[in-house]
Amino acid sequence: MNTVLESISLEREMPVGNYIPAATAGPNTITGLVYAVQPKIFEHLSSPRKVVLFQDPEDLAAGRTGYTTYCLSVRGAISQGRDIRDALANITEALEGILEMMIEQGDLIPATDLPLDLLAAA
């Protein structure tokens, strides 16, 4: 099971509706939990990534359950899941697909966003 690395404040980015790290916690912020996941790329290359997991207050208010996850260092890496385990598995799979596509297209792979001391534990 993945371990929570840290807790961060998120705020809704308008008009896009995405959640982004908040400069300061306030009445319009929610808490996101940061986990480390390690997608396998082409079965031989590992690239640990920091992902943020949270529950959208609007979903909770509407009686919907589930979690949203995203990776700040890889554009377009966002996913959802019924529970924390499902959400982390889904974002790992999404990261694998995006990173594999980037490699196939000859794009530069973004550097990992985890500090070196956490890379060993990921």
Q: Which domains, from first to last, does the chain contain?
A: 34-119 (3.30.160)
38 in Cβ contact with 96 (< 8 Å): no
* The model's pTM: 0.76
What was the pLDDT predicted at 108? Answer: 84
Helix (H, G, I), strand (E, B) or coil at 32: strand
What was the pLDDT predicted at 115? Answer: 56
In 3D space, the residue among 55, 86, 93 whose CA is nearest the CA of residue 71 turns out to be 93
What was the pLDDT predicted at 12? Answer: 74
Percentage of the residues of the chain whose pLDDT score is greater than 90: 20
R_g over Cα of the chain: 15
Residue for token digits 């974002």? Answer: 91
